[in-house]
């Protein structure tokens, strides 16, 4: 399966290694804006083709899968171009920066009937899947509340037009919370919510930190927080009627050995260790390659689907709108 990578950023480097680790995938082509950086990146991984002309790479007939690793505000443009070229698409998170661009991108995917996945890679790893399975089993009872936070000092690395912490980091706890809500609420109640938020802006004018409280269907509360100019710290706990589940290991950067803890209130605590054969990017490459091989047009839940991506974007854009500065 021949992959093309659009962009030569840090995340492109991470994904190139993951593609190399899959014995049925090939790093075929790469596009980048800066000739010197492009040459260095291409030589590092032995791409057969490289170009500063992104359209040339997208339309190359040898390419099977286009991986879009560009800043958030450019995602929709190249999703549309790759769909028009009939390519399978992996687009980095977040899918876009507003709902208009999100809908344009997904409409092109549907119109041209191509495979599409958003790069929420951690959902391909057995760590998150096992945690979701435990919650679905009723081990902690009826889900009542979710407490989620993700902070990392990345503001100096991100494009100003990517719109800040909510879309660069908040998408991780939001997407995991969404999947828990999805398996806990009837479909007609999933996107019924009220919210309030507060935060601050960074030097680039974007929201660099925000906290929000959502109330879904007047049944489940979500307290969510993110910041992009300090720390590297995760937090994710699900509270149920009988107990709670806490991800001890970072659910968004799972590795070879990961842990979560299930506590039954005032009764017991049990730690579960999930071992894996690679990181989330390795699992993502394999899952996408296998899906494309069998002719699927999306991954299967709990991995992210186009429908889930649209809902998650709605939650993120509403969070942005509700944030009082």
| Sequential pLDDT tens for the chain (325 residues) | 999 999 999 999 999 999 999 999 999 999 999 999 999 999 999 999 999 999 999 999 999 999 999 999 999 999 999 999 999 999 999 999 999 999 999 999 999 999 999 999 999 999 999 999 999 999 999 999 999 999 999 999 999 999 999 999 999 999 999 999 999 999 999 999 999 999 999 999 999 999 999 999 999 999 999 999 999 999 999 999 999 999 999 999 999 999 999 999 999 999 999 999 999 999 999 999 999 999 999 999 999 999 999 999 999 999 999 999 9
SS3 for 144-187 is EEEEEEEEECCCCCCCHHHCCHHHHHHHHHHHHHHHHHHCCCCH
Beta bridge mates, 273: 259
Domain boundaries, the chain: 2-120+284-296, 122-280+307-324
Question: Which pLDDT score, from 0 to 100, does residue 314 have?
Answer: 98
Instruction: Report which secondary-structure segment, H or E, holds 260.
Output: strand 257-264
Beta bridge mates, 90: 67, 117
Q: What is the CB neighbour count within 10 angstroms for residue 274?
A: 18
Q: What sign has the CA pseudo-torsion 100, 115, 165, 219?
A: positive
Closest CA to 300 of 124, 164, 177, 153: 124
Yes or no: say if 34 and 82 are a contact pair by the CB < 8 Å rule. no
Question: Which pLDDT score, from 0 to 100, does residue 97 have?
Answer: 97
Q: What sign has the CA pseudo-torsion 128, 134, 138, 139?
A: negative
Hey, what are 227's tokens? 């910041």
Q: What is the CATH number of domain 2-120+284-296?
A: 3.40.50.720
Question: Which pLDDT score, from 0 to 100, does residue 287 have?
Answer: 98
- Per-residue b/e over 183-193, b at no fewer than 16 CB within 10 Å? ebbeeeebbeb
Provide the CATH topology of domain 122-280+307-324. Answer: Dihydrodipicolinate Reductase; domain 2 (3.30.360)
Question: Which pLDDT score, from 0 to 100, does residue 141 have?
Answer: 98
Taking the whole predicted model, whether its pTM rises above 0.75 is answered as yes
């Amino acid at each position: 399966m021949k992959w093309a990578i659009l962009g030569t950023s840090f995340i492109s480097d991470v994904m190139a290694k993951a593609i190399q680790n899959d014995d049925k995938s090939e790093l075929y082509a790469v596009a980048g804006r800066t000739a010197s950086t492009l040459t260095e990146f291409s030589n590092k991984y032995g791409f057969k083709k490289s170009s500063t002309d992104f359209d040339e790479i997208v339309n190359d007939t040898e390419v099977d899968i286009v991986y879009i690793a560009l800043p958030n505000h450019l995602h929709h443009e190249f999703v549309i171009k790759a769909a028009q070229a009939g390519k399978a698409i992996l687009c980095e998170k977040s899918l876009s920066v507003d709902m208009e661009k999100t809908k344009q991108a997904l409409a092109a995917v549907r119109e041209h009937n191509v495979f599409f996945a958003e790069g929420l890679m951690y959902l391909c790893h057995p760590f998150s899947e096992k945690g979701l399975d435990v919650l679905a089993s009723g081990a902690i009872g009826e889900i009542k509340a979710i407490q989620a936070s993700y902070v990392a000092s990345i503001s100096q690395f991100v494009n100003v037009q990517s719109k800040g912490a909510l879309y660069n980091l908040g998408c991780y706890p939001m997407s995991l919370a969404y999947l828990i809500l999805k398996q806990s609420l009837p479909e007609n109640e999933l996107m019924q919510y009220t919210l309030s938020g507060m935060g601050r802006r960074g030097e680039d004018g974007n929201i660099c930190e925000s906290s929000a409280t959502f109330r879904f269907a007047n049944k489940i509360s979500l307290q969510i927080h993110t910041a992009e100019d300090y720390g590297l710290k995760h937090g994710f706990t699900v509270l149920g009627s009988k107990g709670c589940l806490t991800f001890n290991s970072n659910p968004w950067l799972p590795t070879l050995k990961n842990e979560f803890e299930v506590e039954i209130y005032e009764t017991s605590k049990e730690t579960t260790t999930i071992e894996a054969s690679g990181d989330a990017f390795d699992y993502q490459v394999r899952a996408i390659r296998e899906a494309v091989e069998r002719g699927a047009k999306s991954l299967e839940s709990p991995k992210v689907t186009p429908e889930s991506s649209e809902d998650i974007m709605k939650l993120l854009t509403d969070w942005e709108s509700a944030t009082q500065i």
